[in-house]
Amino acid sequence: MSESGSRPVAAVVGGGNGIGATVCRLMHARGWRVAVADIDGEAAGRVARKLDGFGCALDIADEAAVEEAAERIEREAGPVAALVVSAAVFQDIVPAEDLPVDEWERILRVNLTGTLIANKAFGRRMVGRGRGSVVNIASIAAFSSMPAQAYGASKAGVVHLTRNLAGEWGHAGVRVNAVSPGSTLVPRVEARLDSGRYAAHPGEFTALGRMVEPNEVAEAVEFLASDRSSAITGQNLVVDAGWEIAATWAQFGGVRKF
């Protein structure tokens, strides 16, 4: 909470759907005033209205639009104490030799360059005030091999960018961290499970024997955004139900089941 007792403002870019929308709901429940920005302006507005927050349409890859949105959010909702960047696009699974370069560039433009643009626009204001917290959503694809060449590279870049900005802005009182979710039960992934698109259920490859719930990712994000993590910066918090540690057990027949 702020010193005046009013709700601190959290801007969630990509907050209209999926993990971002869950983050908005949890942060509101924890005492934040949420500003929801999403390329789907109608979705952003729906989430914001339910939370008595602020909503706007925003293309994270448009630098001028992000700067304008940051100015508008701070003018109408108040100084942003926490920024969450959840906006991202995915890619079709294709062999690397068949991945069009323009698709590669589109994905990096949104996922990596867009994260930089949002971090700059809001981070500049945080640096000026001498306080703030940024949480960028990366992915387990950032540090694992999988047939998602552009998406994985973009998220690896997000992790590295996070560490760079944490080092640069630390003395200004601004913390920058990342959260890397594993396979998470958002509507998009549930649709893929129902369609049989996955060759195997992702939960079979985790130490906990299940997938991640969206609220579990949101809990990690809100923790890093809050003062409860006041000495944590430049870190990448993995929320994957133990996917990373269980993967190498496959050659031994998989993790132990009880």
Residue 61 has pLDDT above 90, yes or no: yes
- How many whole angstroms separate alpha carbon 106 and alpha carbon 209? 34
Which position has the higher pLDDT, 39 or 94?
A: 39
Alpha helices in the chain (DSSP H): 18-29, 41-50, 63-76, 101-108, 114-129, 149-169, 187-195, 214-225, 243-246
Q: What is the pLDDT of residue 180?
A: 97
SS3 (DSSP) at 170: helix
For the chain, give the percent of residues with pLDDT over 90.
Answer: 78
Q: Which tens digits make up the pLDDT trace of 134-183?
A: 999 999 999 988 889 999 999 999 999 999 999 999 999 999 999 999 98
Residue 5 has pLDDT above 60, yes or no: no
151 flagged as catalytic: yes
Count of residues in the chain: 258
Structural domains of the chain sorted by starting position, each given as residue range(s) with its CATH number in brackets: 9-240 (3.40.50.720)
Report the predicted TM-score, pTM, of the whole model to 2 decimal places. Answer: 0.93
Mean pLDDT (whole number) for 71-76: 96
Burial of 208 (0-12, 13-18, 19+ CB in 10 A): middle
Q: What is the pLDDT of residue 112?
A: 98
Q: What is the pLDDT of residue 251?
A: 84
Confidence bin at 4 (pLDDT 50/70/90): very low
SS3 (DSSP) at 190: helix
Q: Which tens digits make up the pLDDT trace of 199-233?
A: 677 778 899 999 999 999 999 999 999 999 999 99
Residue 121 neighbours by CB distance under 10 Å: 24
Identify the active-site residue in 151, 169, 205, 243.
151
Q: What is the pLDDT of residue 2?
A: 43
